[in-house]
Amino acid sequence: MRKLILIGSSTGGPGHIEKILSSLPKDFDATIIIAQHMGDEYLPSFATRLDRESKLKVSLAENGQEIKSSHIYICTKKSEIQYGKTMNFIVSENMQSNYNPSINALFDSAVNIDSSCEILAIILTGIGDDGVKGIKNLSGSGRETIAESHKSAVVYGMPKRAAEAVKEIKVLSLDEIINYINKFGA
Q: How far apart are CA 180 and CA 186, in angstroms?
A: 10
Question: Is residue 114 annotated as part of the catalytic site, yes or no?
Answer: no
Pick the catalytic residue: 9, 16, 37, 109? Answer: 37
Q: Provide the phi-psi class of 65: left if phi over 0, else alpha when psi is between -120 and 50, else beta.
A: beta
> Using alpha carbons only, how large is the chain's radius of gyration in Å?
14
Pick the catalytic residue: 130, 139, 149, 152? Answer: 130
Distances (CA, A) of 157 to 124, 148, 160, 162: 9, 10, 5, 9
Q: Which DSSP symbol is given to 60? A: E
Backbone angles phi, psi at 44, to 5 degrees: -60, -45
Question: Is residue 10 annotated as part of the catalytic site, yes or no?
Answer: yes
Backbone angles phi, psi at 113, to 5 degrees: -65, 140
In this structure, are residues 1 and 118 in contact, taking their beta carbons and an 8 Å threshold?
Answer: yes
Pick the catalytic residue: 9, 10, 102, 149? Answer: 10
Q: How far apart are CA 29 and CA 126, in angstroms?
A: 27
Q: How far apart are CA 103 and CA 37, in angstroms?
A: 8
Question: Is residue 51 annotated as part of the catalytic site, yes or no?
Answer: no
Active site residues: 10, 37, 130
